[in-house]
Amino acid sequence: MKAALLAAACAVALVGCGSTRGPDDWRSNHVDAKIGSVRLVHLTIEAPPMDQQQVGGNLPLYVTIFNDGDVEQVLDSVSTTEVQQVVYRDASGAVVQPLRVVVPARGQVSMQKGGGRSFLELQGVNRQLGATPIPVTFRFPRAGSVTVRVPVVPVSTPSPS
């Protein structure tokens, strides 16, 4: 009887813990890439539908970076052969050069859509991307580099009135 009650209590506790986690929770189990103590999660590139994509345009790249280590990590380069360059935009939308995103020890940096957050931007897209994931390389001098196939998520654009 005691064992059954204990098992039920543990199951309820586990279900409750999982339900409070959001996309920026440092304990997130959804990992798109990992290198050393760095985890890249919830990676997406937003693009209009294929018939509205323009060569030479810019697209946002969203990611949350977790640092599980005891030493800060710095993202200092993001690249892909599909664009001319990748830039970092701060919360005001201004381009910050050179690209340098500090991820504190045991901390996180959310570069997700909304809330006046900073984000990465693909500039000068070389071709229509459709919905095909593209390889993007992230470089952290202390942890190393990792290439991730980032999904391209179609986003509806309002039709002109």
Q: What is the mean pLDDT of residues 141-161?
A: 84
- Structure confidence at residue 80 (pLDDT): 97
Phi and psi at 7, nearest 5°, equal -65, -40
Between CA 108 and CA 23 the distance in angstroms is 11
Between CA 20 and CA 139 the distance in angstroms is 31
Between CA 90 and CA 161 the distance in angstroms is 31
Angle, CA 156 vertex, CA 154 and CA 157 arms, to 5°: 125
- Structure confidence at residue 157 (pLDDT): 57
Between CA 129 and CA 34 the distance in angstroms is 25
Q: Give residue 125's identity as a one-letter amino acid code.
A: V
pLDDT tens for each residue of 13-27: 333 333 333 444 444
Q: Give residue 52's identity as a one-letter amino acid code.
A: Q
pLDDT tens for each residue of 113-144: 987 899 999 999 999 988 889 999 999 999 99
With 0-12 / 13-18 / 19 or more C-beta atoms within 10 angstroms meaning exposed / middle / buried, residue 97 is exposed
**The pLDDT of residue 158 is above 90:** no
Domains in the chain: ranges and CATH: 24-154 (2.60.40.1890)
Q: What percent of the chain has pLDDT over 70?
A: 78
Taking CA atoms, 140 is separated from 37, 48, 67, 77, in Å, by 11, 30, 11, 7
More confident residue, 7 or 100: 100
